[in-house]
Amino acid sequence: MNLSNVRKVFQKEIRETLRDRRTLLIMLVLPVFLYPALMVLVQQLVLIGRRSLEEQPVSVSVSGASEPAFAYLAGDSALKVARAAAPDPALLETGGADAVVRFSPADSASQSQAVLVYFDASRDRSRRAREVVTDRLEQWGDSVLANRLRAQGLPRSFATPLAVADTSVASAERLGGYALGRFLPPLLIIMTLLGAFFPAIDLTAGEKERGTLETLLTTPVPAREIVAGKFLTVCATAMTTALLNMVSMLLTFQSGVFQLTHATDLNFSIPLATGGLVILLMLPLAVFFAAIALGIAVRAQSFKEAQNHLTPMQFATIVPMYLPMIPGISLSYPVALVPIGGIAVLFRELMGGSVAAGPAVVAVGAMIVYAVLALRFAAKMFGREEVLFGGASGSKEAAGFGERVKAWRGSVQEVPRPSESLALVGLVGLLYFYLGIRLQITGLEQGLFAAQWLLLGLPAVLFATLGPYRTRATLALRAPAPRSLLAAALIMVGGVPVGWGLGWLQGLFLDIPEDFLKMFQQLLTADTPGRFAWLILLIAITPAICEELVFRGVLLQGLSRELSMQKAVIGSALVFAAFHLSFETVIRFLPTFWLGLLMAYVVWHTRSLFASMLMHFINNATAVVLVTTTGLQAHIFGPTGAPRWIALAISAVCLVSGLYLLPRRRADGFGHDPTPAGAPAAAS
């Protein structure tokens, strides 16, 4: 690669980027002017709002109070107190009072009196009334207690046997670093993303729209050098944007304009070495965003279309970006592997002054790997002529929704495209989230049964039969040979203990909630033959049919249409594992992913969904049998919960035997099947 050409392209793109007003706004104007103006404005608005609440006294309705207590409340100028015969909380809704106070009759034995304060938490004035009344009543209670102690000749300390106090050993710098570590990393990430967003669009789809990309690619400069120059431009813009944001925010806090720093005794500063390390670690993040943005934007034919394509990328960064703000999240090894999230939590730990070396190295290494993969993705997109010069993408978007549906229905296809298969999975995922969980809450087992058939199995069958596809090919409904079924059964018998082992290894790093284990054991325990038969139907047969129709049927067949065997199998397994994630725990992901790999691999080779249905049934039925038969568990699992070596040895023999018996499906060097879908597979 000629670095001189790359430098010239880089200089050209930088000049054009700096002429773009949108880029300048995001990169320079927002960081330099936004934070000082924003801090001053927010602070002034808070002061104005607080002043408006404190200027006028809040109205309070009091019932049951003694004359001294009523007089004490009325003596506060912030309160406008009115006596009532009985408490009337309805005054809060009509605006007749901001708070209603009810004094209960005093207990003659303990000489204690209960006071209940009614307020409307949805109204600021009512919340202030509750605050002022509560403080005033506490002062009144202290004075009553002092009088009682004085009357009994007791010292004030008699009522306070313990004088508890605390003091923090953290310095103002450490407190400031702790606070910065909570909100600065998400801001750095989003500004790095925005810094790459508009330049990537302008240098790809924007040039296509202006008709200058084709001219640039016809120059006597290799395409890879042009791409390298564009990538360096986007990466430099992203880094500059993030850096200016960080510097501007720190200078704003340290200028003294923001009074919170004085009120809380915080020093918002970062040591020079820490700041330099954060900037250095932002480089793989900028590379990642720049490469992803370029690879996606170059597929579009217009600026508007590129914005639509990149919007999901922005949404996908929200959850990992906010990991540093979630209480209890620390830089552990699993967190370090989370794309974007691992480096974000590392930023927080660096700013807080305490970093675990092992997870930090893993987080940096993982982010570098993700950046390299993103670069490969961008290079692949720029290497496709139909992407650089094609115009089909824009024409499809121009058609109306009805016309596109009509065209889709009229296009006869063997199996769905990957995008169509993923659309079905997305639909059933939403249905299962919004309706399936509600069905299971209404009736746990009956709801689970209904959700599987109505929200998974039925949509998959309707999609395959009503769409322009061959139903049997889309659902892989091909009769398997007995040898294929035997191979599938052996592979699953061998794979299940490996899945148990993966789950046990996960338990060394991730806590397994006790409530989840109890619920799981209660659900799978069968104490009668009728209960056992119902569990086999609910847990083993139903998912083996309904889930397989979606994930190894529609999804795998759609992915296999355009992707290699490896990518189709891994992709379907990832989606299958993600579908089984729950609110309680993430421990199911890795074992489920492993089993999804095995089932997808078998279906790809046998072309038969019945093989994976058998495998799914074996896995789930085994769980029911093991939970119900406690004596059998002792022979398979050791005291720590890990599978015994004998079980793993037997599983290895079964797994190898099953893979040997599995029919072989011919594929070219890239893993694509050269034979038409639906054609008989070659057996070994």
pLDDT score of 33 more than 80:
no
Amino acid 523: pLDDT: 73
Rounded percentage of the chain residues whose pLDDT exceeds 90: 31
* Residue 677 predicted with pLDDT over 50: no
**Could you report the per-residue pLDDT of 178-189, keeping only the tens digit for each?**
777 777 888 888
Per-residue model confidence (pLDDT) at position 601: 96
Whether residues 548 and 618 share a domain: the answer is: yes
CB 472 within 8 A of CB 610: no
**Of the residues 328, 362, 390, the one at which a domain ends:** 390
Q: In b/e form, how buried is each residue of 56-71, taking b as 16+ CB within 10 angstroms?
A: eebbbbbbbbeeebbe
Dihedral, CA of residue 80, residue 81, residue 84 and residue 88, to nearest 10: 60
Nearest Cα neighbor of 428 from 470, 468, 405, 457 is 457
Does the pLDDT value for residue 608 go beyond 70? yes
As a residue count, the chain comes to 684
- Identify the pLDDT of residue 209: 81
In the structure encoding, which two tokens stand for residue 468, read together?
Answer: 């322009």
| pLDDT band at 669; cut points 50, 70, 90 | very low
- Of the candidates 435, 450, 424, 478, which has an alpha carbon nearest to the alpha carbon of residue 678? 478
Please give the radius of gyration of the chain, using alpha carbons only, rounded to the nearest integer.
Answer: 33
Confidence of residue 259 (pLDDT cuts 50, 70, 90): very low
Q: Are residues 230 and 297 in the same domain?
A: yes
Residue 675 pLDDT > 70: no
Domains contained in the chain, number:
3
> At which of 375, 390, 405 does a domain end?
390
Residue 366 confidence class, pLDDT cut points 50, 70, 90:
very high
Q: Report in angstroms the alpha-carbon separations of 68 from 103, 137, 143, 425.
A: 13, 12, 11, 69
Which one-letter DSSP state was computed for residue 436?
A: I
What CA–CA distance (Å, rounded) separates 250 from 242? 12
Residue 398 lies in a domain: no
Q: Kindly tell me if the per-residue pLDDT of 95 is higher than 80.
A: yes
Least confident of 100-114, 163-177, 298-312, 381-395: 381-395
> How confident is the model at residue 445, as a pLDDT?
86
CA separation for the pair 479, 291 (Å, rounded): 45
681 within some domain: no
pLDDT of residue 672: 43
Query: Looking at the structure, do residues 333 and 241 belong to the same domain, yes or no?
Result: yes
Closest among 229, 200, 198 to 216, alpha carbons compared = 229
Same domain, 351 and 495: no
Q: For strand 115-119 and strand 99-103, is the pairing parallel, antiparallel, or unpaired?
A: antiparallel
| Phi, psi of 101, rounded to the nearest 5 degrees | -115, 130
Residue 340 token pair = 């974007």
Check residues 674 and 419 and name the one with the higher pLDDT.
419
Together in a domain, 79 and 217: no
CA distances from 215 to 80, 205, 218, 523, 572 (A): 77, 14, 5, 66, 40
- Residue 681's pLDDT is 39
Distance CA 554, CA 60 (A): 65
At 524-578, the pLDDT tens digits run 777 788 888 999 999 999 999 999 999 999 999 999 999 999 999 999 999 999 8
Mean pLDDT value across the chain: 82
Q: Which domain holds residue 67?
A: 56-157
Structure tokens at 110: 């303990």
The pLDDT score that the predictor gives to residue 394 is 42
Query: Exposed, middle or buried, 307 (CB in 10 Å: 0-12/13-18/19+)?
Result: middle
Listed in sequence order, the residues at least 6 apart from 254 whose beta carbon sits closer than 8 Å to its beta carbon are: 268, 269
The CA-atom distances, in angstroms, between 152 and each of 145, 149, 235, 249 are 11, 5, 77, 59
pLDDT at 48: 78
Q: Is residue 643 part of a domain?
A: yes
Indicate the residue among 325, 359, 390 that finishes a domain. Answer: 390
Residue 245 φ/ψ, nearest 5 degrees: -65, -45
pLDDT tens string 53-86? 788 899 999 999 888 889 989 888 889 999 998 8
Residues forming beta bridges with residue 492, ordered by sequence position: none
- For residue 568, being part of any structural domain is answered with yes
Over residues 574-601, the mean pLDDT reads: 85
314 and 203 in a single domain? The answer is yes
For residue 668, pLDDT beyond 70: no
Tell whether 496 and 635 lie within a shared domain: yes
What average pLDDT does the segment 156-182 reach? 74
Dmax of the chain from CA atoms?
101
Summarised one tens digit per residue, pLDDT across range 476-523 is 999 999 999 999 999 999 999 988 888 888 777 666 666 666 766 777
pLDDT (0 to 100) of residue 408: 65
Residues 293 and 358 in one domain: yes
Distance in angstroms (rounded) separating the CA atoms of residues 620 and 599? 13
The pTM (predicted TM-score) of the whole model is 0.67
pLDDT of residue 244: 81
Closest to 441 (Cα-Cα) out of 367, 519, 324: 519
The mean pLDDT of 208-218, rounded to a whole number, is: 74
Do the domain assignments include residue 401?
A: no
Confidence of residue 94 (pLDDT cuts 50, 70, 90): confident
Residue 440 lies in a domain: no
- In this structure, are 39 and 127 located in the same domain? no
Same domain, yes or no: 225 and 289? yes
Same domain, 286 and 380: yes
Least confident of 105-119, 224-238, 355-369, 389-403: 389-403
- Same domain, yes or no, for 347 and 482? no
Q: Up-side HSE of residue 625: CA atoms within 13 Å toward CB? A: 9
pLDDT class for 300, splitting at 50, 70, 90? confident
Asked if the structure places residue 673 within a domain, the reply is no
User: What confidence tier does 224 reach under pLDDT thresholds 50, 70, 90?
Assistant: confident
User: What's the one-letter identity of residue 434?
Assistant: Y
Instruction: Please check whether residue 517 lies inside any domain of the structure.
Output: yes
Least confident of 17-31, 102-116, 201-215, 665-679: 665-679
Question: For position 80, which CATH number holds?
Answer: 3.40.190
